[in-house]
Structure formats: C-alpha cells, structure tokens
C-alpha cells in the first residue's frame, strides 16, 4: 500500500497564528511528542523571523534526531542562509523555500514579474542544494495561480534541484475538485517524474482544509502538510488528527497509509492545548471532548449493544481513555443503568424508574447531570432498601 508522509507544521505555521507563540523549551517538548506521534517531517520554525526562532530551530534539530527537521525561508538569500544556519545540527535537514506565484501576490505584494520570480526560485533552490541535501519548494497561493505559469514554476523548481513540490491553498479558497485537478495538471506537465513528491498545504478559511487535503491524495499527492488541532493562520490549517484518521478509517477508499501512531493523537492534542492555553472546541472531530460522548438515549443504547452502531473508530484507538455517557434530558434508561453500575449501584427496576424520573427532571433544569448529582439521587432513592440492612448490621454489633 502506498504511503502518505505527514509534514507537521505546528511549530511554524501553527505558531504564527495569534496567541500560539511558543518558547524554545515548549517547542522542544512538542517536537518530542510529534516524533512519538510518528510524523515524517517537523517544520520547526522560520529562522529569519528572529534570532530566537533561529536558535529554537537549532535546539529542536539537536534534540530530535530521528525525524527530519525543516526550516522555512523566503526565496531570498538572507532567508536561505538563516535557515541553513538553523538546520546545521539536524541529522536530516530539509530546507523549505517559498515564493508567491499568483499574479495578485506578484504584483501587489512582491512587485515582481513572472520572469523575476522564476529566477529567484531557481537561484535560491540551487543555493540551498549546495548546503542541504533535500529542498522543498512551495508556490505560495498556488490555488489562485495561472495553471500554465504554475506548471512552469514547478518545472523550474525541479530542474534547480527541489525534490518536494508543495502547492498550497494559502488562503483557503479552493474546493476539492479544483484542488485535485490542479495537481493532476501539474503531474501531467512534469510527466510524473520519479523522485519528486507532490505536497498539499491547505488552510481552513471555508472549512475545507481537510477535504481539500484528501482530494489531493486522490490526485496523487504523497505529502500532507498539517497541524495538531488544526491551528494556524486565520482559520487554521488542515487538522493532522482529522486527516490521518480519515485515511485510516477509509483506507480502502484512499488506498494509502501513514506512519502516524493513532494512539498518540489525543495526548498530542492535549499537550498542545496545555502549551498554548487554547482548548479545542467540544465538537472538534477526533480529539474534542464530545467526540466520544453520547447523550441521546437511542445512541447510548446502540453503543451499549455494539459500539460500531455510532462510533466509526474506538476512543482507545486514538488515545482517548474511554467513551462517556452524558446524562441529560435525552438520555435513556440503559445508559442510566450502566452509569449507576459504574458508581457501584445495582438498582431494581422500580428504583431505576424512579432514578430516571429524577434525572430527567434535574436535566430539564441543569442541562446536564454530574456524577455527584447521580450519586445523590441514587442514595436518596435506594436508601429505603439499604436502611434496613444497615440497621440489622448495626444491631448485630
């Protein structure tokens, strides 16, 4: 089965989003967890941004030896030199050079002609290859770049020595069929060359980052760039956990595998939340608090009988300790019985009915019944049965 590499940019693109900045110690801690997770490349930072970021990339490169370390650089000599310096301690360094290629960015942002862009791409990739064995090139705003020029850009990058071509949907504008078609056209133009990996990097401005990434896989892309919890510029990047679980659950549909250890996903998510102070939304796929929580009685009953009825992957498979039954006004008797049993109670049918009546009445007021509320209800309902036994026990002493 073909493999898709996971290029993690949590420490670079993810960190660039407001409020997610990390210090060196935090980057090293997260990088170690990303290595345990099984990512194929860790993009550790943007060295030209500051001396601190350059030194942080160096430290990550020294500490994490079993995963290739990447550093980002604009197609400028000073950027490339800073990235090369930062990557010097890496066991397997990757220089990641980028330049915008859409006419909008070239004219408005860079004030460059297409010819100047091609020259900059070729010269900076060659400079990088003089120092680093692997160079990746990203055509920023590829999704809004004229396809003919984009094909020309990719050819120039390959001829200059790039071995990875990343075509980002930088502003989250693409839709899946268009994004996949772009890669197919580039592959056709390059005649599907051996030794060249196509890469996708998607943003979530329209909520399509994961869908676009999966469409790219169908189009022959074999590297996905993503972040833990989907953090990143603006609405974020494609969420690593969602991409890899989709590829795992629908393996027969996509026909590819990854090297990710799914059981480390939940731990990775929680570590990032702890470092950044930003919790994920409860309804977040895979790692959200409600991803394996069930309140509706019909769902709870199905889960009790067979988890596959309402869970397409088990919580344990992605590192979540266990599923949970949330007791609320939608809950059923079977879930209540299981919850009481887990707390050490064995209610009779009559006691279960009375507990259920009280739980639903409380849920109408409080929305959710906490474990301590359930203990109080169970004690109140069942004390009539336990009181005689307790009295008899006391009398025998």
Which has the higher per-residue pLDDT, 370 or 151? 151
Please check the confidence at residue 335 and state whether its pLDDT lies above 70.
yes
Letter string b/e over residues 121-137, b meaning 16 or more CB atoms within 10 A of that residue's CB: bbebbebbbebbebbbb
Q: What percent of the chain has pLDDT over 70?
A: 96
- How does residue 385 score in pLDDT terms, banded at 50, 70 and 90? low
Q: Which residues, including other chains, have CB under 8 Å from residue 221's CB and lie 6 or more apart? A: 4, 183, 198, 199, 200
- How does residue 192 score in pLDDT terms, banded at 50, 70 and 90? confident
- How does residue 375 score in pLDDT terms, banded at 50, 70 and 90? confident
pLDDT tens track for 336-366: 888 888 878 899 999 999 898 998 898 888 7
Please check the confidence at residue 313 and state whether its pLDDT lies above 50.
yes
- How does residue 294 score in pLDDT terms, banded at 50, 70 and 90? confident
Domains of the chain in sequence order = 2-276 (3.20.20.70), 293-392 (no CATH)
Place of tokens 């009915």: 353
Q: Which residues, including other chains, have CB under 8 Å from residue 380's CB and lie 6 or more apart? A: 358
Q: Which residues, including other chains, have CB under 8 Å from residue 173's CB and lie 6 or more apart? A: 143, 144, 205, 206
Query: Average pLDDT, stretch 173-190?
Result: 98
Which has the higher per-residue pLDDT, 337 or 253? 253
Q: What percent of the chain has pLDDT over 90?
A: 74
- How does residue 395 score in pLDDT terms, banded at 50, 70 and 90? very low
pLDDT tens track for 3-20: 999 999 999 999 988 889
């Amino acid at each position: 089965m073909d493999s898709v590499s996971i290029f993690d940019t949590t420490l670079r693109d993810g960190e660039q989003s407001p409020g997610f900045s990390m210090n060196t110690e935090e980057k090293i801690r997260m990088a170690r967890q990303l290595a345990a997770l099984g990512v194929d490349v860790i993009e550790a930072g943007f060295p030209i941004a500051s001396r601190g970021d350059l030194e942080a990339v160096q430290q990550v490169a020294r500490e994490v030896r079993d995963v290739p370390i990447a550093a980002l650089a604009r197609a400028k000599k000073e950027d490339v030199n800073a990235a090369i310096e930062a990557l010097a301690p890496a066991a397997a360094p990757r220089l990641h050079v980028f330049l915008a290629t859409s006419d909008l960015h070239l004219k408005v942002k860079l004030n460059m002609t297409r010819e100047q862009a091609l020259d900059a791409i070729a010269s900076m990739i060659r400079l990088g290859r003089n120092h680093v064995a692997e160079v990746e090139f990203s055509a920023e705003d590829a999704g809004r770049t004229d396809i003919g020029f984009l094909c020309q850009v990719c050819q120039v990058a390959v001829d200059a020595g790039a071995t990875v071509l990343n075509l980002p949907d930088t502003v989250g504008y693409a839709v899946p069929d268009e994004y996949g078609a772009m890669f197919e056209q580039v592959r056709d133009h390059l005649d599907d060359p051996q030794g060249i990996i196509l890469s996708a990097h998607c943003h979530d401005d329209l909520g399509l980052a994961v869908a676009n990434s999966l469409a790219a896989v169908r189009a022959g892309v074999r590297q996905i760039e993503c972040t833990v919890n989907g953090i990143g510029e603006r609405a974020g990047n494609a969420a690593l956990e969602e991409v890899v679980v989709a590829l795992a659950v629908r393996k027969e549909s996509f026909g590819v595998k990854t090297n990710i250890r799914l059981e480390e996903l939940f731990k990775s998510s929680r570590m990032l939340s702890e470092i950044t102070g930003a919790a994920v939304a409860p309804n977040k796929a895979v790692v959200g608090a409600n991803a394996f929580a069930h309140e509706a009685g019909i769902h709870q009953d199905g889960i009790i009988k067979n988890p596959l009825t309402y869970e397409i992957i088990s919580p344990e498979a992605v590192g979540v300790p266990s599923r949970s039954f949330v007791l609320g006004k939608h809950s059923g008797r079977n879930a209540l019985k299981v919850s009481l049993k887990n707390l050490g109670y064995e209610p009779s049918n009559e006691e279960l009915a009375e507990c259920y009546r009280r739980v639903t009445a409380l849920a109408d007021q409080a929305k959710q019944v906490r474990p301590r509320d359930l203990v109080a209800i169970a004690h109140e309902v069942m004390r009539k049965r336990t009181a005689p036994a307790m009295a008899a026990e006391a009398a025998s002493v």
